């Protein structure tokens, strides 16, 4: 009995010293009481903001009471739940703005990247056309400050521009959004070099089935093989959205002969005329196979299906 009791104490001491060792090694790395929580406080919405306790306590030397009490509760999420944690309230001296006023610490309307993390990688819009915007290439490679775009040109929230209705080529031509810089002055104009911002659709070739089956159009043959610029078709002859021409009742041979759609070029001068070589555009023929990269043998099945 006594022996067991001693054993228990010995074990307890061992365990205690073990815990003690763990504790000191932890506190050497990070002292929660002195510095506050180790994991950063992160707000995800509406934008991503990161607050590090350690930089404010250990490095800058602020007491816990500099923030806890009047400015912030000692619990994550409280400030956000007030619904008032935003740039406007910061500018009025609340929350971070109590110090980040340009006197005690750098002002909240400067140095955006200190508190806000830019999105990782590129931003891609799918609608109405697919466009990829190199956020990093503008900030890191071109050295443009966050504040040159945010918030005067772009809100710091994905989707806001799209919702505005003027995030369009026409809007850019008026100097809005990308057009604020892509005006031929600060950066290449948005009505040139379409392919720098826009990508060819993945679906190549495109096949129209209305009103007749089936017409094929191969982007790459036109852009790469024949070296045509995007704007030789977009937007005069074709919208940059699949199905637009097909949804018009005017997408007919008559319209082509009159110089519209494919007929803008397929007029017998720029390219073979629309009233010749029917089988080059209409499926079931050599031209189709050539565009598809199919040799005449494996393409036999296609040939049988085609025509109208
Ligand atoms: C510069 C301001 C500032 C200072 C100084 C500061 N804190 Fe905080 N602390 C915050 C903010 C901001 C939050 C998050 C509040 C919120 O989300 O509403 C927070 C939250 C906390 C939390 C809650 C964490 C959680 O996970 O819920 C604890 C604990 C805490 N602080 C401890 C401390 C201690 C201890 C000190 C001093 C060593 C300290 N803080 C100093 C700003 C500060
Ligand atoms: C009690 C005053 C106080 C409050 C409140 C405060 N800060 Fe600070 N902060 C400072 C001071 C002082 C500095 C250092 C001086 C400077 O850089 O201008 C600083 C520096 C910083 C830095 C740069 C240091 C680093 O970590 O790289 C960031 C980022 C920062 N604060 C974010 C915040 C955010 C986000 C909030 C609100 C959640 C906040 N601060 C609230 C006083 C404060
Ligand atoms: C001292 C830290 C700090 C600095 C500097 C800062 N912000 Fe903020 N910002 C915040 C905090 C905190 C929030 C609210 C929490 C969130 O959105 O996750 C916020 C929210 C926002 C929001 C969404 C809410 C709103 O007010 O519309 C935008 C947009 C924004 N900031 C833009 C900017 C821009 C642009 C700059 C630079 C000119 C900047 N911020 C500089 C801390 C900062
Ligand atoms: C050349 C212009 C430009 C610059 C410079 C720029 N941004 Fe952006 N940023 C954008 C655009 C465009 C969007 C998307 C806005 C939209 O869809 O309405 C965006 C969106 C954001 C978002 C929201 C992401 C999301 O998922 O909601 C954050 C955060 C952001 N930027 C942070 C930054 C920071 C931090 C910097 C500086 C390091 C910066 N930006 C510099 C153009 C820019
Ligand atoms: C604050 C000014 C500014 C804004 C706003 C801006 N850009 Fe740029 N952009 C530049 C500058 C400067 C260059 C490099 C100069 C040049 O190539 O003419 C550039 C280069 C580019 C490039 C080529 C480099 C790369 O990233 O591959 C693309 C693509 C581009 N911008 C797309 C966009 C799109 C899309 C938008 C709108 C969502 C936009 N830019 C908004 C200033 C801006
Ligand atoms: C600086 C980058 C940039 C350049 C250069 C550019 N665009 Fe755009 N374009 C965009 C962005 C951003 C959008 C809006 C987002 C989306 O559609 O996904 C857009 C949207 C469009 C749209 C759909 C909305 C609308 O305005 O009808 C068409 C069509 C279009 N572009 C055609 C063109 C053509 C044709 C060219 C060349 C003459 C061109 N773009 C050059 C960035 C650019
Ligand atoms: C010879 C004419 C021609 C040229 C040149 C051309 N396109 Fe197209 N493009 C079309 C046609 C036709 C459509 C389908 C329009 C329709 O269905 O109404 C289309 C549609 C598109 C679409 C929409 C795809 C979808 O899924 O909605 C994109 C994006 C596009 N083109 C990008 C480009 C880009 C980028 C270039 C330059 C690199 C380019 N195009 C050059 C004829 C052309
Ligand atoms: C901007 C001018 C332009 C427009 C618009 C255009 N094409 Fe073409 N197309 C050409 C040129 C140039 C050639 C190559 C010269 C030639 O074959 O006469 C060509 C060649 C072709 C070829 C032969 C490809 C091969 O195998 O070599 C086909 C098929 C074709 N176009 C279909 C179409 C269809 C379908 C449309 C409408 C949806 C269209 N094109 C719109 C300029 C255009
Ligand atoms: C440059 C490409 C091209 C050539 C060459 C061409 N077509 Fe078409 N054709 C089209 C397109 C594009 C449509 C509309 C889309 C669809 O019906 O699928 C069309 C539609 C049609 C239609 C249905 C609509 C209407 O106008 O009644 C008929 C019929 C037709 N073509 C017959 C012909 C004949 C016959 C020839 C040769 C004399 C010919 N096509 C040459 C591209 C071409």
- Averaged pLDDT, groups of 10, the chain, 308 residues long: 42 41 52 92 90 94 94 95 94 96 94 87 88 91 91 89 93 96 95 89 83 82 91 88 86 90 92 83 60 45 35
What gap in Å lies between CA 214 and CA 302, rounded to an integer?
11
Distance CA(87)–CA(91), nearest Å, equals 6
C-alpha 79/C-alpha 87 separation (Å) is 13
| Residue 203 backbone dihedrals phi, psi, to 5 degrees | -80, 105
Instruction: Please tell me the predicted confidence (pLDDT) of residue 293.
Output: 53
Ligand with an atom nearest the CA of residue 271: 8
- CB neighbours (10 Å) of residue 5? 9
Interval between CA 216 and ligand 9 midpoint (Å):
10
Tokens 């089936």 belong to which residue?
214
Q: What is the pLDDT of residue 92?
A: 96
Model pLDDT, residue 168: 93
Check residue 14 and give its pLDDT. Answer: 42
Cβ(296)–Cβ(290) below 8 Å: no
Shortest-distance Cα residue to atom 41 of ligand 4: 146
Cα(182) to ligand 5 centroid in Å equals: 7
Query: Beta-carbon neighbour count of residue 291 at 10 Å?
Result: 19
> Does residue 199's CB lie within 6 angstroms of at least one atom of ligand 2?
no
Q: Tokens in use for 231?
A: 């704007």
pLDDT value of residue 296: 45
pLDDT at residue number 188: 95
pLDDT at 72: 97
The ligand whose atoms approach the alpha carbon of 154 most closely is 4
Which among 222, 281, 287, 307 is the best mutation to test ligand 9's pocket, defined by most ligand atoms within 8 Å of the CB? 281
- Give the chain's radius of gyration (CA, Å): 32
* Cβ of 68 less than 6 Å from ligand 1: yes
Q: How far apart are CA 134 and CA 132, in angstroms?
A: 7
The pLDDT value given to residue 284: 57
Q: How far is the CA of 150 from the centre of ligand 7 (A)?
A: 32
169 lines ligand 6 (CB under 6 A): yes
């Amino acid at each position: 009995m006594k022996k067991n009791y001693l054993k228990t104490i010995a074990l307890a001491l061992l365990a205690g010293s073990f815990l003690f060792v763990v504790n000191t090694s932890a506190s050497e790395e990070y002292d929660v009481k002195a510095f506050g929580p180790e994991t950063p406080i992160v707000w995800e919405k509406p934008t991503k903001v990161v607050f590090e306790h350690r930089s404010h306590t250990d490095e800058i030397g602020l007491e816990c009471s500099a923030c806890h009490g009047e400015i912030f509760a000692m619990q994550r999420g409280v400030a956000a739940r007030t619904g008032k944690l935003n740039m406007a309230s910061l500018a009025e001296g609340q929350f971070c703005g109590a110090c980040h006023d340009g006197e005690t610490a750098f002002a909240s309307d400067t140095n955006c990247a200190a508190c806000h993390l830019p999105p990782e990688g590129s931003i891609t819009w799918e609608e109405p056309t697919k466009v990829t915007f190199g956020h990093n290439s503008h900030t890191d490679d071109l050295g443009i400050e966050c504040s040159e775009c945010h918030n005067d040109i772009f809100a710091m929230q994905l989707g806001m521009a799209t919702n505005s209705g003027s995030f369009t080529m026409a809007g850019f031509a008026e100097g809005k959004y990308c057009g604020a810089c892509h005006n031929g002055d600060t950066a290449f104009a948005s009505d040139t070099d379409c392919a720098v911002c826009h990508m060819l659709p993945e679906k190549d070739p495109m096949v129209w089935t209305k009103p007749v089956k089936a017409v094929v159009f191969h982007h790459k043959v036109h852009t790469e093989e024949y070296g045509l610029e995007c704007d030789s078709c977009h937007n005069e002859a074709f919208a940059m959205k699949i199905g637009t021409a097909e949804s018009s009742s005017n997408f007919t041979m008559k319209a082509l002969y009159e110089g519209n759609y494919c007929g803008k070029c397929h007029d017998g001068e720029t390219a073979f005329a629309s009233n010749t070589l029917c089988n080059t555009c209409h499926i079931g023929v050599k031209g189709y196979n050539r565009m598809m990269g199919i040799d005449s043998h494996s393409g036999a099945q296609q040939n049988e299906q085609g025509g109208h």
